[in-house]
A and B are shown apart, each in its own frame.
Chain A
Amino acid sequence: MIFDFSNYDQLLPLVTNSLIVGALLAVVGGLVGVFVINRDMSFAVHGISELSFAGASITLLIGGDVVFGSVIGSLIASLIIGVMGAKAKERNSITAVLMPFGLGLGILALSLYQGRASNKFGLLTGQIVAIDEPQLVSISIISAIVIAALLIIWRPLTFASLDVEVASARGVPTRTLSIVFMLLLGLSVAASIQVVGALLVLSLLVTPAAAAVRVSSSPFVIPVLSVIFAGVSVVGGILLALGSSLPVSPYVTSISFLIYLICRGVEWVKNR
């Protein structure tokens, strides 16, 4: 039996931390995702997440803080992709080179690791009750930084994403902005991995925003919808996973995919 909600009230307190973190990550993922779509960086997100996974695995092996490890891995990857892959064409090949390297490094570290197997698996595919107090604090801080910084640079970053030539003529520091955005993206990936895992980060950082741009063209409605979609996916996924023996990520990814399909459908009906 997949679902068993009989002792739900006793299970719920176990995932309170995850729910809080999930809601925060939904805001982060929903907002960052708008620019991931906007700047055509979906593939880069995947690349960053593999290096983030490597960082997390290595710290798990040497007994350090996993969130710290994934942040370091993420930031290194985003800086490399941001600096060396300023042009879209180069970015894809650099990402493709980094990605298997990161994944391989992570798998190496995990196979040397002697601890609990669920820790290993969780980094790749997500985990539901694994968020402890220190992690809650560090993910909250990361989320607050990303959200605040994004709101501050939102408009210049939109301008730079629309037309880098015109924006820089107007004095917008486009190069700095693109590096800052890569760092924020790295932080978002590192935080998201703790819940949905490295392989499924895209479902949080790309799918909700990709769904939102299907049904709206307003620069205010798109981020709001994107955050709502991400929130429904993560929080809904955690609540569903609680009543089952399966990990959290299939639920998150399925809900987020379903929302995307519905938005495609709505768009199709509107354009008919």
Chain B
Amino acid sequence: MSKPLLEIENATLEIDGRVLWQNLNLEIQPNEFIAVLGANGSGKTSLLKAVLGQLPLRSGSIRLNSKKIRRGSRRIGYVPQHRQPETTMPLRGKDLLWLGLNGHRFGFWIPGSKARAQFDHIVEAIDGQELIKRKISGMSGGELQRLRVGQAVIDEPDLILADEPLSALDYNQQAAVAELLGRESREHGAAVLFVTHDVNPILGMVDRVLYLAEGSFRIGTPDEVLTSETLSELYGTTIDVVRNQGRILVLGAHDDHDHHHEEVWK
């Protein structure tokens, strides 16, 4: 095994006196695709924030490329949940993509040939020749998420963090965005930590599943973790995992599918 890209060691996260998960040990290799599943409030998004150094751990440590994590990193690409842009400024698709390459740079900057090649590559990858010319304010959820994936991978990060990037998209858009994320991460050997409430759109590309529930967790391949036995043990109550035509359904867990889109980032 090669050197792990991300090392989460004995990590415990506590928010307002409530332990979200404890003694979490997880080593992520380059190129690994990990789905983070669990009920609302189980600390899925908080895990990403902890990896970004935005939430302090109560104990334990997180290292990226053997270095203790700081607040954000250029080696990380981030795909947020779909929502309309916060700004009223009429930016275009290409401006969004360029910010993925140069948004962290202060001062004057002219793209070199490498940056232009990266830009052209991503435009092609997201099939965005038309998209980049349009204002982001008029785009559909699927179009905007394609651009956001493009923005996250354009600088060839080592680690891609995705927080429910497929929610609020229809089935075809989900498939397209998931496929794009999987393809681009494999191409550059990036690891992916993918938070989602529905594993099905990404089932084909997931190497391991991290399932968070009831202050505890299970890690393993989808076949190991997503079973009635494992999840019942994790939740401490009867959980039925139903497999039907290659799709997985978790029944009985407090997985608030229906009002998930109301969840807001704080």
Residue in chain A with minimal CB distance to B265: A165
Residue in chain A with minimal CB distance to B92: A217
* Residue ranges of B at the interface with A (Cβ–Cβ < 8 Å): 52, 54, 70-74, 76-78, 80, 85-92, 95-96, 99-100, 102-109, 135, 148, 151-152, 161, 265
Given A169-B52, A169-B161, A213-B89, 7 more A-B residue pairs with CB atoms under 8 Å apart are: A40-B88, A151-B108, A155-B102, A156-B105, A159-B104, A170-B73, A216-B90
Q: CB within 8 A of A166: which of B78, B90, B102, B108?
A: B78
A-B contact pairs, 13 of them (CB 8 A): A38-B87, A39-B87, A40-B87, A40-B88, A158-B91, A158-B99, A158-B103, A162-B87, A170-B72, A170-B78, A170-B104, A219-B91, A222-B90
The number of residues on chain A lying at the interface, defined by a beta carbon within 8 Å of a beta carbon of chain B, is: 31
Q: CB within 8 A of A156: which of B85, B95, B103?
A: B103
A171 touches B74 (CB 8 A): yes
For window 28-52 of chain A, which residues contact chain B by CB distance below 8 Å? Answer: 34, 37-40
Closest CB in chain A relative to B48 CB, distance in Å: 8
Task: Report the separation of the CA atoms of residues A171 and B107 in the bound assembly, to the nearest whole angstrom.
Answer: 16
Q: CB within 8 A of B76: which of A34, A151, A169, A222?
A: A169
Closest CB in chain B relative to A171 CB, distance in Å: 4
User: Given A159-B99, A161-B86, A162-B99: A152 and B107 within 8 A (CB)?
Assistant: yes
User: Given A162-B99, A169-B76, A172-B104: A217 and B90 within 8 A (CB)?
Assistant: yes
Task: Report the separation of the CA atoms of residues A167 and B90 in the bound assembly, to the nearest whole angstrom.
Answer: 18
B76 touches A163 (CB 8 A): no
Please indicate the chain A residues that have their CB under 8 angstroms from the CB of B80 in the complex: 163, 165-166
Please indicate the chain B residues that have their CB under 8 angstroms from the CB of A152 in the complex: 106-107
B73 touches A164 (CB 8 A): no
Map CB proximity to B onto A80-103 as digits: 1 under 8 Å, 0 otherwise: 000000000000000000000000
Closest CB in chain B relative to A82 CB, distance in Å: 17
B87 touches A166 (CB 8 A): no
Task: Report the separation of the CA atoms of residues A165 and B164 in the bound assembly, to the nearest whole angstrom.
Answer: 14
Residue in chain A with minimal CB distance to B161: A169
Closest CB in chain B relative to A20 CB, distance in Å: 26
Q: CB within 8 A of A159: which of B74, B103, B161?
A: B103
Q: CB within 8 A of B85: which of A162, A168, A219?
A: A162
Please indicate the chain A residues that have their CB under 8 angstroms from the CB of B72 in the complex: 168-172
- With most chain B CB atoms within 10 A of its CB, the pick from A40, A162, A170, A172 is A170
